[in-house]
Structure 1
Amino acid sequence: MLEYHLANLRSLKILCMDAREKSRSTILESSKDKRVPIFVMMPVDAFSFDASGRPRIRKIKALTVSLKALKLAGVHGIGVEVWWGIVERSSPFDYSWSLYEELFKLISDSGLKLHVALSFHSNIHSSNGKGGVSLPLWILEIGDVNKDIYYRDQHGFSNNDYLTLGVDQVPLLSGRTALQCYEDFMVSFVDKFESYIGSVIEEISIGLGPSGELRYPAHPFGDGRWKFPGIGEFQCYDKYMMKDLKMAACRERKPQWGDRGPQNAGCYNSLPSGVPFFEEGQESFLSDYGRFFLEWYSGRLICHADAILAKAAKILNKYQENEQTSVMLVAKIGGIYWWYQTISHPAELTAGYYNTALRDGYDPVVSVFSRHGAALHIPCLDMMDSETPPTYLCSPEGLLKQIQSVSKKRIIKLIGRNTTERHDKSGLRRIHSNCYNRQTEVVRSFTYFRMNDGIFRVENWNNFVPFVRLMSRDL
């Protein structure tokens, strides 16, 4: 591995000499607009734990070489997930920042900036066996006794990738609510890395759900319950969310609506056809009950984002006053693009986006982000409808266009990211085109997912370097 990176670094010195010329001929003609800085996310298996349980950076020599190569290529910065499950791993309030002190110094010494993603989720199920970080161990101990601190589906299965928003205001976590845990973590982070904020750390993304995205874990591919293109399942069956649903139903003077979620909404791997709730009948999403449930389900998610972002904005407020130390607050949404061309958009509904052919479900989400001054981290910039199976009525292009339109209306900054791993010229060309869409604001930065062996293969590197040169500011 290390020898491979070293060989590529030597070849990179030659490639970078004519990278500007190649950026014109290989990808696209250079844009006269403001260039878009690129942050490359750290590898999914960047961290591990030693025999004593202490976190460490894996393959640090190879990582150092990779950082130098990316810097030479013109990459602006590195995206780093700062895991709750690493920093506050063993016990409440016991924050250990040593791993990130070492990593941030390594990145800074390489001349690169930082996009930091404060991650309150786990990636155990999505890391494909390549390490992975759980929630804090003391949280898992509480969850062993009370599984209702996690989201549950209609069958009672829980998902321990993220705490249910039902415990946002319930002091179950060693005397704290979930919101207090998130707030304390953010305060500790800012106190520890204040000297980096605004100079090295340019963007701070706040985790709002699974994979850091504002959504429910309706499509849990990592544990085998869901496979593409299933519509997913509603995740509201923990006792805290069910209690809230009952209260909402009583306020509507329809207490029977609070007994459960929709019972005719299929299962994880159902297709929309033949699932009554997602069709247009009397007991569908268009019924009085359907509208009530979806407004409650999506509304709780928006309130969750509102509460966390309010705390984050307050903590970071003092860094917004001085332009030299300004840091961008960022929030992510998911890219649920399958079944987008149906009237009900079922996969989006189960994820918590009340978005249908008859209703714009992203406007209220973007409004909350905008109110707190958060930039919107948008997906699918690499995807084309023609690359998706037509049978599943996908439209990543339609989804992206809708989100961009809402963002323009709400005057919110945009940050882009790819949804699939792309090293090919076509995918990189698509990213550039979407970043410089004349109909919307140019994105402020682009987060490339992610650093791995593939990016450094010669044929991929020869595409990636001209792309970076085309997109990024001169460093």
Structure 2
Amino acid sequence: MNYLSKKLKKSLVIILTFVISFSWFLSYDTCANASSINGDYKVYVMAPLEKITDWNKFKNELITLKEKGVHALTTDVWWGDVEDKSDNDFSWNYYKKYANVVRESGLKWVPIISTHQCGQNVNDTTSIPLPKWLWSKDTTDNMQIKDELGHWDKETLSPWWSGIEKQYDELYASFASNFSNYSDIIDKIYLSGGPSGELRFPSYNLAFKWDYPERGYLQCYSKSAISDFQNEIKNKYTTISAVNQAWNTNLTSFKEITPPTDGDNFFTNGYKLTYGKDFLNWYQGVLEKHLDKIASIAHKNFDPVFNVRIGAKVSGVHWLINSPSMPHSAEYCAGYYNYDDLLDEFKKSNIDLTFTCLEMNDKDAYKNPMYSAPKSLVINVANLSNDKGIRIFGENALPISNNNRAYENINEMLYNYNFSGFTLLRFGQLFNENGTPKPELDSFANYIIKKPVKVTFKIDNLNLKEGENLYLTGNSWEMANWTTGLYPSKFNYKDRKATVTVNLAEDHTYEFKAIKKDKDGKVTWESGNNHSYTVQSSGGICNFSFNN
């Protein structure tokens, strides 16, 4: 009995020693696995703008995307194509063939009900106008959008036109009826809310000589738009005397109320005044009402048939955000004045949000002539969406070509801000003319399709003083999304601890070291005498400790 007890104790000691040693090994020499991204995360690719002619090549390309892990193909279903002959006369044959090929490839399908014109915006490679017969339904003033310089825009219907409900209801109903047999592959449906399929005004239009990074133009100078603004102010203030008191004006009637007559002066000074705030709230409110309108029509027609999520896109208007003379003027011209209120409408309308420019980075935002801050903008909108419980998806604003840094920026946003998916713009970036994959497809797969993962660094005994920073360094650091100069405000001084989360994308083994630098540049390595920590791209937790 004593012999067995001694033998058992000895075995237990050996096992315990092994467990302790293995635990120490995990916590010191390597990093333990950790979870990664939103569980609903899906990757889409946006189809070519041009019509497909070689269906076999197209099918093989889709199969390649499926094998790489792409979930669905998003496709513009152009109103100008399907109802081009006459009112309520639809032809869906091309898109049914299209859907059949998508089904055969094994991918899911995300149709975009594209009620806008193709051919007037950045990277438009074909021209598909709205149905010609449409413009005989009413006057130009009621159906088109007029900007502050007098240009009339017809790339999308005016949100002030009363006939939108009937036309969209007929279009949506016909799509639902004709594609009810494709509910097995339809994963989601997108609504076009304006130019380029985005919920915005056509404020930056290349056809009217707009050039980046100009602010663009306000789009509310038709008679119907001005009348709507007057009615909005009348409903808010009731009497013209109340308006004069609030605006410090001497108006004699509501008919004298107009949108800004001098756009540059308005965005320099006027937007700060009560008049400016009232105007911008009304201007964005037009978009909110438009979303409410088209979402209601879509839910009525699509929910009983497809039972899938419905989405809409908001453009990342990232330039002039930090302009010293006209801050946010480009956003305001597009109709984005208060993202908090705009996203409230997305929540109310039960619509998923897709936001663009995830590939971009803030760089000298207060110094460059664009005064651009795309990354800060994405983070702001993503945080608001998460706070409101809105499912948010991402998209690149411009084509990506051999730019791993752009993929890293996307990766960072997708992981850290709870995105539910990402759509690559566009198909042609991934395939050559003969249908063979470009090297870009591998970069896309490694950074975006393979779910981004995180590594968390837990640092103990950290004793940073004013002017000191913590740095992480290691091999292949350019392929990891991390901050190499972390400010003391991120640290818990009381516990002398810090947790730093970074993202990895490629299937790679990374070695990390931690150092801190004082204000004079003196370097102190973490304990372990220049010890390195290895982590696979599957993620993990690394524990560092400084000798202080």
**Short-chain TM bin:** 0.7 to 0.9
Q: For 1:446-457, what aligned pairs fall within 5 Å after superposition?
A: 446-452=422-428, 455-456=431-432
Residue 236 (structure 2) pairs with residue 231 (structure 1): no
Q: Counterpart amino acid of 1:381? A: L
For residues 85 and 287 of structure 1, the distance between their equivalents in structure 2, rounded to whole angstroms, comes to: 42
Counterpart residue number, 1:93 = 88
Structure 1 residue 427: Cα displacement:
1.3
Structure 1 residue 224: Cα displacement:
4.1
Instruction: Choose from 299, 324, 348 the match for 1:371.
Output: 348
Q: Counterpart amino acid of 1:79? A: T
Counterpart residue number, 1:179 = 165
Residue 237 (structure 2) pairs with residue 260 (structure 1): no
Structure 1 residue 341: Cα displacement:
2.1
Structure 1 residue 135: Cα displacement:
0.3
For residues 35 and 327 of structure 1, the distance between their equivalents in structure 2, rounded to whole angstroms, comes to: 14
Residue 395 (structure 2) pairs with residue 417 (structure 1): yes
What count of residue pairs does the alignment treat as equivalent? 397
For residues 431 and 236 of structure 1, the distance between their equivalents in structure 2, rounded to whole angstroms, comes to: 35
Residue 147 (structure 2) pairs with residue 153 (structure 1): yes
For residues 427 and 34 of structure 2, the distance between their equivalents in structure 1, rounded to whole angstroms, comes to: 25
For residues 60 and 239 of structure 1, the distance between their equivalents in structure 2, rounded to whole angstroms, comes to: 47
Counterpart residue number, 2:179 = 193
For residues 348 and 127 of structure 1, the distance between their equivalents in structure 2, rounded to whole angstroms, comes to: 17
Structure 1 residue 237: Cα displacement:
1.3
Structure 1 residue 129: Cα displacement:
6.9
For residues 107 and 121 of structure 2, the distance between their equivalents in structure 1, rounded to whole angstroms, comes to: 27
Residue 263 (structure 2) pairs with residue 277 (structure 1): no
**Which range moves more in the overlay, 83-92 or 307-316?**
307-316
Structure 1 residue 127: Cα displacement:
6.8
1:309·1:369 contact (CA, 8 Å) conserved in 2?
A: no
Instruction: Choose from 159, 162, 184 the match for 1:165.
Output: 159
For residues 202 and 41 of structure 1, the distance between their equivalents in structure 2, rounded to whole angstroms, comes to: 14
Question: Does the C-alpha gap of structure 1 residues 122 and 258 become closer, same or farther in structure 2, counting only changes over 3 Å?
Answer: farther
Q: Counterpart amino acid of 1:411? A: G
Matched residue SS, 1:114: strand
Matched residue SS, 2:211: coil
Question: Does the C-alpha gap of structure 1 residues 301 and 419 become closer, same or farther in structure 2, counting only changes over 3 Å?
Answer: same
TM-score (norm 2): 0.68
2:36·2:451 contact (CA, 8 Å) conserved in 1?
A: no
2:141·2:224 contact (CA, 8 Å) conserved in 1?
A: no
Q: Which has the higher contact order (CA 8 A, sep 6+)?
A: 1
Q: Counterpart amino acid of 2:144? A: Y
Task: From the two aligned structures, give the one with the greater helix fraction.
Answer: 1
For residues 431 and 408 of structure 2, the distance between their equivalents in structure 1, rounded to whole angstroms, comes to: 16
Deviations 1:280-303 (A, max 9, x none): 4xxx11112212211211111111
Question: Does the C-alpha gap of structure 1 residues 127 and 291 become closer, same or farther in structure 2, counting only changes over 3 Å?
Answer: closer
CA root-mean-square deviation: 2.4
For residues 364 and 86 of structure 2, the distance between their equivalents in structure 1, rounded to whole angstroms, comes to: 46
Structure 1: stretches of 5+ with no match in the other structure: 1-28, 48-56, 170-176, 267-275, 320-324, 355-360
Residue 262 (structure 2) pairs with residue 286 (structure 1): no
Q: Counterpart amino acid of 1:418? A: N
Counterpart residue number, 2:419 = 443
Q: For 1:196-207, what aligned pairs fall within 5 Å after superposition?
A: 196-197=182-183, 199-207=184-192
Question: Does the C-alpha gap of structure 1 residues 120 and 469 become closer, same or farther in structure 2, counting only changes over 3 Å?
Answer: closer
Structure 1 residue 195: Cα displacement:
2.4
Residue 100 (structure 2) pairs with residue 117 (structure 1): no
Structure 1 residue 147: Cα displacement:
5.3
Question: Does the C-alpha gap of structure 1 residues 154 and 278 become closer, same or farther in structure 2, counting only changes over 3 Å?
Answer: closer
Residue 379 (structure 2) pairs with residue 426 (structure 1): no
Q: Counterpart amino acid of 2:53? A: R
Structure 1 residue 249: Cα displacement:
3.8
For residues 109 and 432 of structure 1, the distance between their equivalents in structure 2, rounded to whole angstroms, comes to: 30
Residue 455 (structure 2) pairs with residue 461 (structure 1): no
Structure 1 residue 63: Cα displacement:
1.9
Structure 1 residue 317: Cα displacement:
3.2
Q: Counterpart amino acid of 1:378? A: F
Q: Counterpart amino acid of 1:185? A: L
1:153·1:235 contact (CA, 8 Å) conserved in 2?
A: yes
Instruction: Choose from 291, 305, 319 the match for 1:338.
Output: 319
For residues 126 and 30 of structure 1, the distance between their equivalents in structure 2, rounded to whole angstroms, comes to: 43
Matched residue SS, 2:181: coil
What percent of counterpart residues are identical? 27
Residue 339 (structure 2) pairs with residue 353 (structure 1): no
Counterpart residue number, 1:214 = 199
Instruction: Choose from 23, 47, 55 the match for 1:42.
Output: 47
2:151·2:208 contact (CA, 8 Å) conserved in 1?
A: no
**Which range moves more in the overlay, 256-265 or 418-427?**
256-265
1:78·1:112 contact (CA, 8 Å) conserved in 2?
A: yes
Counterpart residue number, 1:243 = 227
Instruction: Choose from 368, 381, 403 the match for 1:390.
Output: 368
TM-score (norm 1): 0.78
Runs of 4+ deviating beyond 6 Å: none
Counterpart residue number, 1:3 = none
For residues 257 and 333 of structure 1, the distance between their equivalents in structure 2, rounded to whole angstroms, comes to: 33
Deviations 1:156-190 (A, max 9, x none): 211110011110x2xxxxxxx11221122111111
1:248·1:258 contact (CA, 8 Å) conserved in 2?
A: no
Counterpart residue number, 1:71 = 66
Structure 1 residue 35: Cα displacement:
6.7
Question: Does the C-alpha gap of structure 1 residues 376 and 35 become closer, same or farther in structure 2, counting only changes over 3 Å?
Answer: closer
Matched residue SS, 1:214: coil
Q: Counterpart amino acid of 2:380? A: Q
Q: Counterpart amino acid of 1:265? A: G
1:38·1:471 contact (CA, 8 Å) conserved in 2?
A: no
1:149·1:238 contact (CA, 8 Å) conserved in 2?
A: no
Counterpart residue number, 2:76 = 81
Question: Does the C-alpha gap of structure 1 residues 129 and 465 become closer, same or farther in structure 2, counting only changes over 3 Å?
Answer: closer
Question: Does the C-alpha gap of structure 1 residues 443 and 463 become closer, same or farther in structure 2, counting only changes over 3 Å?
Answer: same
Q: For 1:54-69, what aligned pairs fall within 5 Å after superposition?
A: 57-69=52-64
Question: Does the C-alpha gap of structure 1 residues 410 and 393 become closer, same or farther in structure 2, counting only changes over 3 Å?
Answer: same
Question: Does the C-alpha gap of structure 1 residues 129 and 232 become closer, same or farther in structure 2, counting only changes over 3 Å?
Answer: closer
2:379·2:413 contact (CA, 8 Å) conserved in 1?
A: no
Question: Does the C-alpha gap of structure 1 residues 458 and 215 become closer, same or farther in structure 2, counting only changes over 3 Å?
Answer: closer
Matched residue SS, 1:95: coil
Deviations 1:340-379 (A, max 9, x none): 124741111111111xxxxxx1111111111222111111
For residues 408 and 327 of structure 2, the distance between their equivalents in structure 1, rounded to whole angstroms, comes to: 32
2:400·2:429 contact (CA, 8 Å) conserved in 1?
A: no
Deviations 1:45-102 (A, max 9, x none): 2x2xxxxxxxxx3343432232122222221110101111111111111011111100
For residues 96 and 132 of structure 2, the distance between their equivalents in structure 1, rounded to whole angstroms, comes to: 22
Choose 1 or 2 for highest CA Rg. 2
